[in-house]
């Protein structure tokens, strides 16, 4: 079982990353669980997502410690400290100047980086699920699809 905690601010795409990851696992016939946690603010409030992926049934939705933590803003880091251990692999938000993509696909870049570090789901399955989840937006603006797929691949291939 792999436990992932994603933390950021509302509007950064935390919940999209979590939904795509959990749905991709489900589509691969794995057991997956995703619990969103956020305040009433639509943008600017701390947004957390708890995801579990397993080859076996998941009997309890909560977890005490994360195997992987994605920290997309400094303010959210304080909220997730109780879930971190020395063994937790932390992926922190990168300096945006290192990423040659529009800010609106930064979260998908981070998703690709999480896939690289965790190996939890193959990138092609995540790309298919991203297409499924974002289908309407991709039809409305095919350039968004191109940017998202490029950002996913770039995150997956990123060398720090």
From CA 76, how far away is CA 93, in angstroms rounded? Answer: 11
Q: Could you report the per-residue pLDDT of 102-140, keeping only the tens digit for each?
A: 778 999 999 999 999 999 999 999 999 999 999 999 999
* Domain count along the chain: 1
Q: Whole-angstrom Cα distance, residue 129 to residue 90?
A: 24
Name the E strands within the chain. Answer: 2-9, 31-38, 46-54, 68-71, 89-92
Which pLDDT tens digit goes with each residue over 138-147? Answer: 999 999 999 9
Give me the domain span that covers residue 132: 2-157
Domain containing residue 90: CATH number: 3.40.920.10
Is the whole model's pTM more than 0.75, yes or no?
yes
What is d(CA 139, CA 57) in angstroms, rounded to the nearest whole number?
35
pLDDT at 104: 84
Of the ranges 52-56, 57-61, 93-97, which one carries the lowest mean pLDDT score? Answer: 93-97
């Amino acid at each position: 079982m792999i436990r992932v905690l994603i933390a950021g601010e509302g509007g950064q795409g935390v919940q999209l990353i979590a939904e795509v990851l959990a749905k991709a696992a489900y589509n691969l016939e794995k057991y997956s669980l995703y619990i969103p946690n956020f305040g009433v603010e639509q943008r600017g409030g701390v947004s957390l997502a708890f995801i579990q992926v397993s080859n076996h049934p998941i009997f309890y939705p909560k977890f005490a410690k994360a195997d992987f933590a994605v920290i997309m803003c400094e303010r959210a880091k304080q909220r997730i400290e109780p879930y971190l251990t020395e063994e937790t692999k932390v992926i922190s938000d990168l300096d945006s100047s290192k990423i040659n993509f529009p800010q609106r696909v930064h979260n998908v870049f981070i998703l690709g980086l999480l896939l690289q570090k965790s190996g939890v789901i193959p990138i092609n399955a995540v790309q298919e699920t991203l297409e499924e989840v974002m289908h309407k937006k991709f039809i409305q603006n095919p350039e968004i699809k191109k940017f998202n797929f490029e950002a996913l691949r770039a995150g997956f291939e990123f060398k720090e």
